[in-house]
Structure 1
Amino acid sequence: MVKLKVKEIKDHLDKNGVKYSLSIKEGYGGYTSGLFLVEENITNIGISSDRGADVQVNLSPVTKDLLDFEKYSTEKKYLIVGIDPGTTAAIALLDLDGRVVSISSSRNTSVSNMIKYIRERGRPIMIATDVYPIPDTVEKIKRAFNTMVYSSKDTATEEKIDLTKGYDFSNVHERDALFAALDAYKKFKNKFERIDKEIPVWVDSDEIKAAVLKGVSLKSAISHPLKSTKDANKDKKDGTKDKTKDVKKQPDEQINLRINKIREDNEYLRKTLKEKNIEIKKLEDYILSFKIKERREIKRDKEIKIRDNEIKRQGKEIIRLKEKIKEYSNQIEQFRMIKILESSGDFYPVKVIDMFKKESIIEFNTKIGIKKGDIVYLKDAAGGGGSTADFLIDFGIKAVIVGSEMSHLAKERFYERDIPLFNDSEVNIMVDRESIMYVQEFGIIDKNEMDRLIDLWIKTNHERLEERKMEDIIKMIKEYKRERGDMY
């Protein structure tokens, strides 16, 4: 917005033929301010002050007396000269307040032309370069003006770009020359500012600064300004008069009037500065509120994204839970049917254990419980041996049904301890329904069918045990007879 307003004012002044100089200050993202110094009465330029939300235009007159006082001397100003020597040589001129006077570059120019260019624009008090050791071209210009040399030595390109940011130049040679001059000014800036604070208002600060740079102490330069001026300008003709001397010749009353005028201008500038600070504070508050709003929006967007992801996750969880509920509902219905059938007295309850292992038996007992007289269905009977069979039998179970092959040792333990053992294939089908039906840990089996199977198994097992006993007795008799035969 500032850049557009600067262009608008510039086009208006150009269209109306108004002479002006323009100083632009750039910042992040564009212009931060533009200053027009117009050579025309403020009422004739066709532009008025404007205070908008984003851009403000302020018009203020330049007091003629103040300009007269500052430009009282007709002598050429002192300069800090930055030089970038080479095939394309560049020169940058600064006054002792750090303002750019001129920047120029040329190919294959001579040293004499460079000296002429500088002499036409002022009096060099310092020659600066960013090249080290100091080149011959710079040495020749230094000797021509009998002045000091300041060298920045080797400097990184990033530092040059940073220091020259906001200035107008045409190429890297002009940039390097400008950097050398600005770097030299920067080195002495604090000393220059101290001089501005300590000298009386009627003394030419540039003369004092020039004298100090030539080696005169600040105290001596202030105490004897005429002498300092004479030393600093001994190459000038006697016809050139020193500004300090002219000012001191003025009547005290006129000097007091000028001092009062300067004070009034200073008060005006203080007031303007205060207004600017208030304006800056408002803009900073606006920027802060904008950043807070932006952060809130970013936070809100982030929270919305998190919420959307959570909704998706919860949606998937709801689908999973609905499927689980459906599964549980079916199981509940089956449990209900089992309970109804069990309560009729026509069925035995069956407790279903997944694996024939001590861990599975312990887990089932902890969760559901195994009591005396229970019928147990082992879905996978391959895991356990004799000790596992004893562990299960010790609960006092009535019978065991297995869904897979069981080890010989385990079978023997059930036979020896007279616990009926059946394969699920031995359970007959009746009334279009398997004699055993189960849901997870519970099931039922037809009571009459199971009693018949148990009675048959017990009878068969007893016969097996009797046969085994008879076999053992016959074996013992044979052993006895053999031993007796050996004795005789």
Structure 2
Amino acid sequence: MKVFGIDIIKGSVRSRSRRPVYALCRMEDGEMLDVQEVTAFRLQRLLTAEQPEILAVDSLQEIAADQHELYAFLQSLPPSTKLVQVTGGERTESLGKVAARYNINFNRFDPYAEARTIARVASLGAGVQVIAFENTTDIVVSRHRSPGPGGWSQNRYARKIHGAVMQKGREIEARLRGAGLDYEKKETKAFGGCSRVAFRVAAPREMVPVHPSRGADVQVRVTGRRLDRIRFEPLSGRPRYLIVGLDPGTTTGIAAVDLDGNLVLLTSSRQMTMSEIVEEIYRAGKPLIVASDVQPMPYSVEKVRRAFNAIAYTPKQSLPVETKYELTALFTYTNDHERDALSAALDAYRSLQSKFRNITKRVGPGFDLDEVRARVLRGQPLDTVIEDMQGAPAPITEAEPAAPAQERSVEDERVMALDGMVKRLRSYVQELQDTLRERDREVEHLRQSLRRARSATERRIRRDAELAAKDAAIESLREQLRGERRRSRRLKKRLERMQAVERLESAEDSTPLKVLDSLTREGVRGLQEDMGIAGGDVLYVPRAHGWGRGVIKDLAAGGVRALLVGGEPPDPNLVRVAREAGLPLIPAEPLSPVIRGKTGVVGSLALDEAIAAWKEEQKEFLREREAERVEYLVREYRSEREKEVRRGG
């Protein structure tokens, strides 16, 4: 078997200026031929010329920038050449881990060493085959050049080309019939023959006895039909060995690690039956050891172990919780059952690490360490295992036509293993049925308990909802009560002040005062809301700052008897506006009012004299304003007469 292993040295498939250069290692029948530096074009030429069985890479990103380029690259490979990614398919791992599985060391900074390692592990059966095409092939025979407008011999020229296309189609059809392949044919008729002949063959491209070609008049294209999604198939059909940890119970925890301690499977479920547990583990690999975290091993774990004929492992004493946390510190799990199952598997792996290291030291490179470890753990001497594996041929993929005997032996071994598994599983059917009946009774009991719990829960939820609604109503009423209490306190204070004013009004020798905070609309509004302003009231303002014409007019319109102004003498403008509005504005200092909060008193006699004096002054103010008005009218009349005399003169 010829194997090509490549690793990129420099450049990139994504770069237009620095095209990739590869280190190419060529191996044949396990012997390394040479390692050389090649360009991508040179690599294609070598693949076409030598047609190796395997082209191995450690990453598809080194040969194609995207999926479209990968399809094109796979289409350009010879039909018999498989593209193998040695680091895995959907879930990849490093080349170092893959090489360590075969006890191979290499310098990961040397592309030539990586190319040798890639070719070697691929020849030993590592990696997955990249499959991008269905088992259907399209063959298209068409013209290699267009007839064009032509001249006198145009018809003869077109007839020659179309005849050549039809003749080539008949040759290909004869080959397909000779190979016994099923196909569909579609011809496009043209002058003198066919312009296009298309075949759809129900066989993979490597089985079709037709190759792409180009001639003077005819070209042949052979392409496989693309899959919707690229598929990865293991190069070796043998499942990997596992160390499985189980935690049985109402919730079953399952964990599996490979023989290098890498986590492969970690899951848990409340619904798994025994057969489903076996199937779940079988999908992950072949259990070599089945472990438990308690001593002795539970009966359900023992049944799973016997189903796989695996080696049993239990700790000397049941693992404490601290040890479980220590073992699983580097892993992520979702519940305690997964933690217990994982700790059982890791504890089994930890107990075997020293033995695995000794095996690795004694086994040379190129051996499948997992197979060696499995045989040694099952009791075979290491020397015998090495001799057997040295005499055994290298693992070949199932599609390899050169080793049908080994394919049959692998298939027979797999069939025998499955047959034995079926027989063992059948022996457990009665036990599983008894367990199922017992579980059904337990489920019915739990359902009754659940119904009772649900009824109690529903009653509690309804009661909680009613209590919540009542609490909300009580809180709303409390808020309303607090508001009413605040309003009651305000009204009580207002009543007390009004009663104080009434007491002052009832006194014979004094007049009550209502105190105005400021001579502004806000001050008037506040006094109106607090005590009210009625006709005949006497107001007192400590200072006349910030007064407005509108406020004076509003007070005069409201029938206020007088406005006493404290502090400095009032502004002349304020006095003039008050006289124009007819509001008595009297300085408070000569009257000596007594102010107590929002109310006060002033002597009635002094107030009456001050108001009378203001009214006398008001009469004089009105006479002067009338005189000014008459004088203004006289001046206006004289001015108009002078204008008329000037116009008449």
Tell me if TM exceeds 0.5.
no
TM-score (norm 2): 0.30
TM-score (norm 1): 0.38
- The answer to which structure has the higher helix fraction is 1
